[in-house]
Amino acid sequence: MKKIQRLQDSIIILKGKIMVHSRESEEQNQYIRDDKELVHVQLRKLKAQRTQAREISQENLVKLTLESNATIKALRKIVDKGEKILKLAEICRKFETEEEKVLPFYSSTLTPEEQEEIEDITSEEFTEELAKVIADYTGLENFWKRYNKVKLEQLSLQHRRAQLLEINRKLREMLKQYLDGISVSDEVLSQLNPLFVVNHRSNLPQSLSLPTTQPGDKKPPTTYNIIEAAHVIPHIL
């Protein structure tokens, strides 16, 4: 009986231990399941971030490719423009005068004192940012000198051309008036012409009121306009 009692006690003790271990195991399993779920959530987030990063990288790659191609085209245009400028410079070199070949850049007409005064005024008016920009373009000063000189010469030639065109127009009008006065045509006959007289009559409008003469006044001399018959006969036959 004692042996059976001991066995029963040991069974009860073992059952208690089993329950304790099962409870602990269940808690550990729950912790593991929670960790597993958390890992799955983080894994899904990482996958979503990886997909988004891949899409962004693809877009950046496409954008970089397009910008690279555009940059290459722009640089090619700049190179072509530079080559064109060099060719034009070689062509223009042939038309330069000896003075321009020897002294391509004209010197300033200002005195040193005036130059210093202008520099002091401009340095006070310019802001720091604008001064930096101007400093970056100081290397182009000689270029702008030649460019401004050519621009002034161009404006001067345009002004001179306009003057010559105006003189030419006036000369053409004077020549046309002269030719209309000495020639006979339908267009000329339809207009007022003091040189065209037929039967002592001109096509100019006659004044309705005759000048009154006072007794004792001398009669004004009679004037006659003469025109060759060769010019009149074709228009009266």
Check residue 222 and give its pLDDT: 54
- Residue of 209 and 197 predicted with greater confidence: 197
Side-chain-facing half-sphere of 138: CA atoms under 13 Å: 6
Q: Calculate the CA dihedral of residues 154, 155, 157, 159 and round it to 10 degrees.
A: 160
Residue 197 and residue 204: Cα distance in Å, rounded? Answer: 9
Helix, strand, coil shares of the chain, percent, nearest 5, are 75, 0, 25
Per-residue model confidence as pLDDT tens digits over 62-121 = 999 999 999 999 999 999 999 998 998 888 888 877 877 777 776 666 677 777 776 776
Helix (H) or strand (E) holding 189: helix 186-189
Give dist(CA 161, CA 169) in Å, integer: 12
Q: How would residue 207 be classed by pLDDT, with cut points 50, 70 and 90?
A: very low
Tokens standing for residue 133: 């920009």
For the segment 120-138, the average pLDDT, to the nearest whole number, is 67
pLDDT-derived band at 122 (thresholds 50, 70, 90) equals low
**CB neighbour class for 196 (10 Å; exposed up to 12, middle 13-18, buried from 19):** buried
Task: Let me know: does 105 contact 145? Beta carbons within 8 Å.
Answer: yes
Q: Give residue 146's identity as a one-letter amino acid code.
A: R
d(CA 153, CA 143): 16
Q: Which residues contact 43 (CB under 8 A, 6 or more apart)?
A: none
Task: Name residues whose C-beta falls within 8 Å of residue 118's C-beta, 6 or more positions apart in sequence.
Answer: 110
State which amino acid sits at residue 46.
L
- Report the phi/psi class of residue 143: left, alpha or beta, with left for phi > 0 and alpha for psi in -120 to 50: alpha
pLDDT band at residue 195 under the 50/70/90 scheme: low
Going by the DSSP 8-state scheme, the letter that residue 178 receives in this structure is: H
